[in-house]
Chains A and B, each alone.
Chain A
Amino acid sequence: MINYIKNIITGFISLCEGLWVTLKHFFRPSFTLQYPEQRPKLPLRFRGRLVMPVDKEKNDNRCTACMLCVKACPNHSIAVEKLIGEDGKPKPKASKYYYNLATCMFCNLCVEACSFAAIVMSDEYELAVYEKEKLNLELVSEKYNLTGAKEKWWQSKFKEEPGE
């Protein structure tokens, strides 16, 4: 009998506790981000699609066609063609940088492998397209421009090094 009454009282108190929690939630502002109109504030190291930004001092990209990123990529999403000079010898420069968005898994290994900070993961995350061919990108001719805090963060990768 004592147990029975205790059951009722503890049950009632725990129900009131539950109601109190939802009541507190009632007066909070909503967490909802209304996506097409409102955008999330992305962290600095957000991993969107791969880009090859233009270094504004050189007015060109920083790629040397060393093939480290090609070897680092676990999915073979990257293929690089070296620039062939007029003398018929390969130059330390990429003429074509093929990047397959369909197989990329945004692991960031290529960026970590790059010794010259030539490539970086951008803030672009709306990557859906209607045709499969549009997923095969060519990054050299794209001449991508980074802006804002992301650009400063990217430049700090190579500017602070001694001798530069």
Chain B
Amino acid sequence: MEILKDLIYNTGKPLSQFYQWLHKLWAGFNFPPLVLDIIIQFIVAFVIFIFIALNALWIIYYERKFSAKLQIRKGPNRVGPIGLLQTVADTIKLLIKEDINPVKADKIVFFIAPGIVFLATFLSFLVIPFGNGLIVADLSIGVLYLIAVSGLAVIGILAGGWASNNKYSLIGGLRSAAQIVGYEIPNMIIILTVVMLAGSMKMSEIINAQSGYKWFVFYQPVAFLLFLIASNAEINRAPFDLPEAESELVSGFITEYSAMKFAFFFLAEYTNLFIVSAIATTLFLGGWQGPVLPPFIWFIIKTYAVVTFLMWIRWTFPRIRVDHLMEFSWKYLLPIALINLIITAFIIKITG
């Protein structure tokens, strides 16, 4: 009974006990411990991959239903009960489609680009705390690692846009690069504010600093809003979906992609939405903390609340104009974030 309770409310403890027990067992056979670690890492990576796939399936279905509600439509309701299997059917269709390569495309870069984009999202899962101790690696520079890894995606998008040998793809990729670089700076300053409040870059310590309902969203409401705006721009979602603006660029950097490669871009896009919401939950909404329910459930509830808010924004606002895009970042987001940072620093210094 005690173990079951630990497993639900304090997952880190039994997991590390199990890990040590495995190592002891392994040492009994006289195998090198490195091999066991590699096997465990593969299993963890596989579990994360399964989670990403299932989560993307669900989140796409959820977005389609939610946008249908906002537009007074019904949404998918034919495949399976209330349309639940619609995304499964779409995925199968995507996977069995012909994989088209443009004749003049740069074959190798064209092939690698979706991999890089997916890799960036996949690596971000390393430091997301799903529950009490339910985190793959609790790095001491967790937040910094997250920023560094999410910046990787721009390489993939730019490479994909360039390798397609298509003017729309190239413009989309360049726009994406400008956008991600432009919005990463206010984003980092906002995260710095939170790090200053928590006094650590470690994910578990940021969450511990918010225990007892001292969620940072109550101290930093402006920073929370700015974070949502900036990260929404970073994951290329409407109203900041300029890199794939249908009315101007066909489909931006994914114009030439089809089948499996397109599926990877799509998967990365929707998983990025989840990751951004998970980061917002961790930094501002107290992470997995909450009464009665298990930490994992609380984490999912809070994350999906943020996901819903981002979808609500997406399906309400029209796309921002290209010349307003940079103006918005440099003239509005950055000064407000800086002022917010300075005021927070002063208050922390005064109150000790």
Q: Which of B263-321 contact A (CB under 8 A)?
A: 312-313, 315-317
Given contacts A8-B332, A15-B317, contact A22 B72 (CB under 8 A): no
Q: Which residues of A contact B71 (CB under 8 A)?
A: 25
CB pair B74 A22 closer than 8 Å: no
Q: Which residues of B contact A29 (CB under 8 A)?
A: 72
B15 at the interface (CB under 8 A from A): no
- Range of interface residues on B (Cβ < 8 Å): 10 to 19
Q: Which residues of B contact A28 (CB under 8 A)?
A: 72
User: In the complex, how many angstroms separate the beta carbon of A5 from the nearest chain B beta carbon?
Assistant: 10
B93 at the interface (CB under 8 A from A): no
Chain B binder among A30-38, A59-67, A76-84: A30-38
Interface size on A, residues (CB 8 A): 15
CB pair B72 A30 closer than 8 Å: yes
Ordered nearest first, which 4 A-B pairs have the shortest CB separation? Answer: A32-B74, A22-B316, A22-B70, A30-B74
Tally of contacts, chain A with chain B, CB under 8 A? 33
A residues with CB within 8 A of B? 8, 15, 18-19, 21-23, 25-26, 28-32, 34
CB pair A31 B73 closer than 8 Å: yes
Q: Which residues of A contact B74 (CB under 8 A)?
A: 30, 32, 34
CB pair A30 B68 closer than 8 Å: yes
B69 at the interface (CB under 8 A from A): yes
Q: Which residues of A contact B69 (CB under 8 A)?
A: 25-26, 30
Q: Given A8-B332, A25-B72, A28-B72, list of 9 further CB < 8 A pairs?
A: A18-B317, A19-B312, A29-B72, A30-B68, A30-B69, A30-B72, A30-B74, A31-B72, A34-B74
Q: Which residues of A contact B316 (CB under 8 A)?
A: 18-19, 21-22
Given contacts A8-B332, A15-B317, A32-B73, contact A22 B68 (CB under 8 A): no
Q: Which residues of A contact B315 (CB under 8 A)?
A: 22
A8 vs B340: C-alpha distance when bound (angstroms) = 15
A34: nearest residue on chain B (CB-CB)?
Answer: B74
User: In the complex, how many angstroms separate the beta carbon of A21 from the nearest chain B beta carbon?
Assistant: 7
